[in-house]
């Protein structure tokens, strides 16, 4: 079956998901991100590979990290950037997303960075695009591919070889597009052991089919891991009660210094942000010496430059 993110010649035209992208393509993107980051840090000129190109940020859900870092990444490579204001646009008069995309393509937009609450919206727009690329900046609980890539960049930089690592993804797996992209990337890169840790109510049905080991207790899930990837509790996507109370959730699944001590001594702590401090993570851990949460944000610019280049 044809992969909708590939052009007819096999080139990666859109970035909709990490599912099926494969180890070689992921590593190529991470290597390119490393070169771009090194050049930026050394004060060398970056390639103007997006000069005379226009990137449109189409965010139908809030964002701080993804939207800003896509904009910075595009500008650093020479692109013009339009931050499309959904609220004051003609989408509020009933214009369809397809017509909005066609209208902006008629103004020579070259790429759309799309975030939407409904699974599949970036793929739908990619199928409709005549010439432009569509980059998924997060759709529903389906995928957040550039977050997955920047997380892999972070792990590779701080921990090295994936084949030697034990990784735990902790929290609201059920509603998390980040978790899905992380799992796909970690499996593609050959991680030694991958656990997902959550109460039963926040684990998707048959999650083990994704090639992960589900755990409902932090004592089991964090034991000896090299990387702890925390997730935000996605209250905006929950229908009904998935946790007994926030207080109990923090007691059982919140990452505190005592729970982090179950992991390897040199384990790193990650979080895609935004964080709910005191709910899924204690500030002593979020701001502690094992946290690489702000470096993740920094690497996001290099990774998004690599994707757009
Ligand atoms: N990690 C992430 O997607 O953050 P934002 O919602 O701030 O973009």
Reported as a single tens digit per residue, the pLDDT across 205-234 is 999 999 999 999 999 999 999 999 999 998
Reported as a single tens digit per residue, the pLDDT across 14-46 is 999 999 999 999 999 999 999 999 999 999 999
Whether 164 is catalytic: no
Q: Closest Cα to atom 6, ligand 1: which residue? A: 63
Residue 3 corresponds to which tokens in the numbers above? 């992969």
Four-residue CA torsion sign, 167, 228, 273, 149: negative
Adjacency order of strands within the sheet including 213-215: 213-215, 193-197, 166-170, 227-230, 268-270
Quick check: 240 pLDDT over 70? no
Q: Tell me how crowded residue 274 is: count the other CB atoms within 10 A of its CB.
A: 11
Residue 289 corresponds to which tokens in the numbers above? 């010496």
Ligand 1 atom, smallest distance to 64 CA: 7
With a Cβ cut-off of 6 Å, ligand 1 is lined by 63-66, 138, 147, 272-274
Q: Measuring CA to CA, which residue among 187, 227, 226 is closest to residue 210?
A: 187
CB 226 within 8 A of CB 280: no
CB 113 within 8 A of CB 70: yes
| Average of per-residue pLDDT values in the chain | 96
Four-residue CA torsion sign, 289, 168, 192, 292: negative
Hey, is 115 helix, strand or coil?
strand
66, 177, 180, best to mutate for ligand 1 pocket (most atoms within 8 Å of CB): 66
Whether 93 is catalytic: yes
Reported as a single tens digit per residue, the pLDDT across 86-110 is 989 999 899 999 999 999 999 999 9
Quick check: 178 pLDDT over 90? yes
Which of 53, 144, 156, 232 does the annotation list as catalytic? 144
Reported as a single tens digit per residue, the pLDDT across 123-174 is 999 999 999 999 999 999 999 999 999 999 999 999 999 999 999 999 999 9
Quick check: 242 pLDDT over 90? no
Quick check: 239 pLDDT over 80? no
Is the preceding omega at residue 274 within 30 degrees of 0, hence cis?
A: yes
Quick check: 249 pLDDT over 80? yes
Q: What CA–CA distance (Å, rounded) separates 280 from 140?
A: 20
Ligand 1 atom, smallest distance to 138 CA: 3
CB 227 within 8 A of CB 167: yes
Q: Closest Cα to atom 1, ligand 1: which residue? A: 272
Residue 111 corresponds to which tokens in the numbers above? 């790429």
Residue 2 corresponds to which tokens in the numbers above? 């044809």
- pLDDT value at residue 22: 95
Ligand 1 centroid to residue 122 C-alpha, Å: 16
Q: What is the DSSP string of 175-206?
A: T-HHHHHHHHHHHHTT-SEEEEE--GGGS-TT
Which pLDDT band holds residue 83 (cuts at 50, 70, 90)? Answer: very high
- pLDDT value at residue 229: 98
- pLDDT value at residue 226: 98
Residue 252 corresponds to which tokens in the numbers above? 């059982």
- pLDDT value at residue 234: 83
65, 140, 145, best to mutate for ligand 1 pocket (most atoms within 8 Å of CB): 65
């Amino acid at each position: 079956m044809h992969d909708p993110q590939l052009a007819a010649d096999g080139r990666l035209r859109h970035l909709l998901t990490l599912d099926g992208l494969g180890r070689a393509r992921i590593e190529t993107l991470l290597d390119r991100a490393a070169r771009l980051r090194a050049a930026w840090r050394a004060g060398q000129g970056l390639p103007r590979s997006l000069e005379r190109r226009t990137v449109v940020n189409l965010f139908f859900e809030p964002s701080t990290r993804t939207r800003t870092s896509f904009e910075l990444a595009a500008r650093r490579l020479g692109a013009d950037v339009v931050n499309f204001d959904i609220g004051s646009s003609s989408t509020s008069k009933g214009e369809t997303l397809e017509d909005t995309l066609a209208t902006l393509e008629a103004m020579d937009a070259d790429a759309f960075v799309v975030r939407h609450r409904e699974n599949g919206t970036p793929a739908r727009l990619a199928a409709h695009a005549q010439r432009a690329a569509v980059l998924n900046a997060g759709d529903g609980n389906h995928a957040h591919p550039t977050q997955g890539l920047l997380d892999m960049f972070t792990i590779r930089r701080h921990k090295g070889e994936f084949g030697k690592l034990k990784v735990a993804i902790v929290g609201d797996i059920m509603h998390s597009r980040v978790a899905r992209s992380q799992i796909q990337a970690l499996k593609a890169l050959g991680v030694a052991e991958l656990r997902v840790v959550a109460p039963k109510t926040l684990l998707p049905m048959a999650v083990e089919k994704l090639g992960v080991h589900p755990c409902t207790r932090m004592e089991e899930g964090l034991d000896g891991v090299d990387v702890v990837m925390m997730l935000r509790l996605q209250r905006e996507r929950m229908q009904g009660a998935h946790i007994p109370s926030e207080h109990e959730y923090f007691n059982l699944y919140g990452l505190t210094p005592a729970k982090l001590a179950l992991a390897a001594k040199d384990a790193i702590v990650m979080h895609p942000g935004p964080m709910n401090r005191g709910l899924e993570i204690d500030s002593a851990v979020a701001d502690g010496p094992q946290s690489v949460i702000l470096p993740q944000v920094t690497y996001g610019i290099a990774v998004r430059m690599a994707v757009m280049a």
